[in-house]
Each structure stands twice: as structure tokens, then as C-alpha cells.
């Protein structure tokens, strides 16, 4: 298999059976219903399994958690009850999600996992740590808190994964990440995943890793083939009406609706709440409320979730049929991140972007970036 900085070759999909995976893990993969490895899984699993350092440019939705999760649960020794693997993530939601995914992958090998994140009582985490987990999935701040209290020791770690490194950078975690890495053995294996590769992220890779293989899976092209992308021109004051029409017109199973601010999220949810079951997710909510909102959405009790950008990034929300940009994203990158939330793992999805009178500038950039794949929505909300 070729390695390097190239985009994944478009070869016929391999089977999980062709990859170096033990029967217990294969069973866990089957139980998850994954029939074929995604491109990033095809390339990353053998390399991490061999112990290589690796930098992977890949977005949420590419199957990257499985790409590092499968070799992680394979390589560690379940009979040694000590912390062997550390996965650093930017947010508590991602910590919980990655921990869940790893638990599912490691269930037949007896792999124990702890999620360590701020906002949860630290005592509860002490209790989980006493059970001597093999893997910690942690946000940097809380992990440092544990190391300072002596409740976590990192000198037995053999593999470190830095997940969503660009977001950790955005959130100001890089100094913490460096401090954490300094507490782990120099002989460790390190892998870094990031949707984008700003200089500061590259610098970590160069400073902290040993001859890493660089892999880019996401094409720079901002579209996913299976997402149908529409725009709908609608004046600011008519957007609520337009959304109601869209929800009636489109086969919406579950939709993420993006708004720019927390206040606007709440206001829109209220306006829609009379007709639809609507949830909200934004940075102003407490941890418990956020988790409850995510659960209600995942279970389709509130199939429409109105969110801010910040709240939504990095979340794994499977089976979203629609992404609706009620407010125009700030730039093309943000658009790509949002739209990437639908059509996960090859499922078809639809993105609809409202274009108001103040959105022309970004809309022009979008049209330039997306070309003919961005189409006008057939709905005319101004027709009677």
C-alpha cells in the first residue's frame, strides 16, 4: 500500500477481513454494522498497527475514530491493568463519543476506558480510574488536573492520539498538549488527526513525532458527492416562513439548523416549537442540558436541532438527513464543516443554505468554490 501525502487512491474498497484485525475486534466491528472499511481506515489501520507515527488530515465523518480506534484496541495488552493509551480531544462531547466508540470496538477484548473531561465531578472520575482502565480519552485541562493531583500517571502510556488537533489549537489547548506529551515516555507512538493543517499543527507533528507518515484523506474539494446542496434566496424577515415550508416540502428525518448566536438559536427554536419537536444546542448550555439535547436528537425525539457553530463542531451525530444554514456560514470552510455533518459514511444527505440580503459576499465565495454542485432549491417561498 502506498503512503505519503497523496489523497487516498480510488481503489476498490478492501474488506475488514484483509486488514490486520483480530477475531474479537472483527466481531465488535460486525456488531457495529460496519461492513467495509472507509478509505481512511484502509490506510491508517495497518500503519498504526505496525506502530508507526502518523498525521492524518481527515474530517469527522470520515470514520477516523475507527481508523485509530481499531489498532488501539488491538495493540494494547488487556491483561496489563494500567493506562496504555491516551486520546486527547478538544471537547467533553467528543470525549464521550470517542470513549463510546472505543468501548464498542474493545468490548470483546476486555478493554476498559475512562473519559476525563471538565464539567463532570472529578470524584466520579477518581472512582473510574481506580478500576485501572487501559485507555483514557481526555480533554487537556482536566487531564492536567488529574496529573497534578496524582490520580493519573502518564509514564505507562505507549500510544497517544491527538484528535481534532486544529480545534485544540483554536481553543488554546496547545500549551497544555505539549505539557501532557512531555509527561509521556519519549518512546511512545503518536498519531495526530486534524481537519485542517495550520502551521501550528504541523509544528506539533514535526516536533513531537518520529518520522510520521502524512496522509490526507479529505479532498480539498468542499463537497461530498452524496450531499445534494441547495441555496434558497430568502429575505431575512421571511426565513422562518421559508424554513417551515422546507420542513414540509423536504423528507426531513433529522436536521441540524445553524444559527449564528445563542440568542437566535433560542428564538428560532421557540418559533418552530409550536409545530415541530425541536431541540437546541449552544455553548451557553450546561453540560447536562447539552447531553440531554444530543440524546433526544440521536433518538429522534427532537429530530430538528437548532445549533450554533461552536456547539456543533466535532460532534458525531449520525444519520442527519438535512443540514440547514438558516444563517449563512462566515466562510467556505465553515460551510464545509457544517455540510460535512450530513451524508456521513456515504449516506445521502441534503444541505440547504438560506441566502439573505446581507449574505451576498459569502454566497459569491461559495458559488465560486462549489460551482454547479450548488443548485437553487426548487421551492419558491414567494409563490402563493
Q: Where are the alpha helices (DSSP H) in the chain?
A: 23-32, 39-50, 64-75, 92-106, 122-130, 140-149, 165-170, 174-182, 199-208, 239-249, 262-272, 287-298, 309-312, 332-339, 360-370
Minimum CB distance to ligand AMP smaller for 57 or for 62: 62
Burial 60-92 (b: 16+ CB within 10 A, else e): bbbbbbbbbbbbbbbbbeeeeeebbbbbbbbbb
Name which of 45 and 370 has its Cβ closer to ligand AMP: 45
Cβ pair 57, 43 in contact under 8 A: no
Which of 62/208 has CB closer to ligand AMP?
62
Residue 24 φ/ψ, nearest 5 degrees? -65, -40
Cβ proximity to ligand AMP, 21 vs 160, nearer residue = 21
Least spacing, CB of residue 213 vs ligand AMP, in Å:
19
Rounded to 10 degrees, what is the CA torsion of 206, 177, 65, 23? 90
Phi-psi region of 71 (alpha: psi -120 to 50; beta: other; left: phi over 0): alpha
Q: Which helix (H) or strand (E) holds 6?
A: none
Three cell numbers, residue 204: 506539533
Q: Least separation, in Å, of the C-beta of 16 and ligand AMP?
A: 8
Rounded-to-integer distance, Cα 317 and Cα 90, Å: 17
**Shortest separation between residue 118's beta carbon and ligand AMP, angstroms:** 22
d(CA 377, CA 354): 10
- CB 46, min distance to ligand AMP, A: 15
Task: Report how many helices (DSSP H) and strands (DSSP E) the chain contains, helices first.
Answer: 15, 14
Residue number, 37 or 140, with CB nearest to ligand AMP: 37
Q: How far is the CB of 235 from ligand AMP (least distance, A)?
A: 36
Q: What does residue 267 show for φ and ψ, rounded to 5 degrees?
A: -65, -45
Nearest distance from residue 96's CB to ligand AMP, in Å?
13
Minimum CB separation from ligand AMP for residue 380, in Å? Answer: 35
Of the pair 70, 180, the CB lying nearest ligand AMP is at 70
Minimum gap (Å) between residue 127 Cβ and ligand AMP: 28
The residue (of 36 and 147) whose beta carbon lies closer to ligand AMP is 36
Nearer to ligand AMP, 44 or 181 (CB): 44
Nearest distance from C-beta of residue 123 to ligand AMP, angstroms: 30
Closest to ligand AMP by CB, 44 vs 232, is: 44
Strand pairing report for 159-162 and 85-88: parallel
- Residues near ligand AMP, by CB under 6 A: 34, 36-38, 41, 60-66, 316, 318, 344-345
Amino acid at each position: 500500500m502506498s503512503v505519503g501525502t497523496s489523497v487516498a487512491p480510488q481503489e476498490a474498497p478492501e474488506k475488514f477481513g484483509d486488514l490486520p484485525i483480530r477475531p474479537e475486534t472483527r466481531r465488535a466491528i460486525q456488531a457495529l454494522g460496519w461492513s467495509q472499511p472507509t478509505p481512511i481506515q484502509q490506510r491508517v489501520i495497518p500503519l498504526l498497527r505496525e506502530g508507526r507515527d502518523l498525521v492524518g488530515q481527515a474530517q469527522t465523518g470520515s470514520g477516523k475514530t475507527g481508523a485509530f480506534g481499531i489498532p488501539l484496541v488491538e495493540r494494547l495488552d488487556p491483561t496489563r491493568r494500567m493506562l496504555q493509551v491516551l486520546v486527547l480531544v478538544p471537547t467533553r462531547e467528543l470525549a464521550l463519543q470517542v470513549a463510546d466508540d472505543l468501548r464498542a470496538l474493545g468490548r470483546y477484548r476486555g478493554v476498559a476506558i475512562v473519559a476525563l473531561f471538565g464539567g463532570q465531578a472529578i470524584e466520579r472520575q477518581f472512582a473510574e480510574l481506580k478500576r485501572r482502565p487501559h485507555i483514557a480519552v481526555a480533554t487537556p485541562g482536566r487531564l492536567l488536573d488529574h496529573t497534578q493531583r496524582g490520580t493519573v500517571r502518564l509514564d505507562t502510556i505507549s500510544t497517544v492520539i491527538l484528535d481534532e488537533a486544529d480545534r485544540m489549537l483554536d481553543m488554546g489547548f496547545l500549551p497544555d498538549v505539549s505539557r501532557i506529551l512531555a509527561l509521556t515516555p519519549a518512546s511512545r507512538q503518536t498519531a495526530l488527526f486534524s481537519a485542517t493543517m495550520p502551521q501550528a499543527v504541523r509544528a506539533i507533528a514535526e516536533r513531537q513525532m518520529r518520522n510520521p507518515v502524512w496522509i490526507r484523506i479529505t479532498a480539498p474539494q468542499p463537497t461530498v458527492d452524496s450531499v445534494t446542496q441547495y441555496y434558497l434566496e430568502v429575505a431575512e424577515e421571511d426565513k422562518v416562513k421559508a424554513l417551515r415550508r422546507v420542513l414540509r416540502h423536504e423528507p426531513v428525518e433529522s436536521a441540524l439548523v445553524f444559527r449564528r448566536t445563542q440568542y437566535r438559536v433560542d428564538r428560532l427554536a421557540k418559533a418552530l416549537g409550536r409545530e415541530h419537536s425541536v431541540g437546541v444546542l449552544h455553548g451557553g448550555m450546561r453540560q447536562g442540558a447539552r447531553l440531554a439535547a444530543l440524546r433526544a436528537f440521536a433518538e429522534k425525539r427532537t429530530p430538528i436541532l437548532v445549533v450554533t457553530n461552536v456547539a456543533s463542531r466535532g460532534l458525531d451525530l449520525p444519520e442527519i438527513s438535512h443540514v440547514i444554514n438558516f444563517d449563512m456560514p462566515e466562510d467556505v470552510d465553515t460551510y464545509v464543516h457544517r455540510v460535512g455533518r450530513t451524508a456521513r459514511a456515504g449516506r445521502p444527505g441534503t444541505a440547504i443554505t438560506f441566502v439573505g440580503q446581507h449574505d451576498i459576499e459569502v454566497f459569491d465565495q461559495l458559488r465560486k468554490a462549489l460551482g454547479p454542485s450548488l443548485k437553487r432549491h426548487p421551492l419558491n417561498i414567494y409563490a402563493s
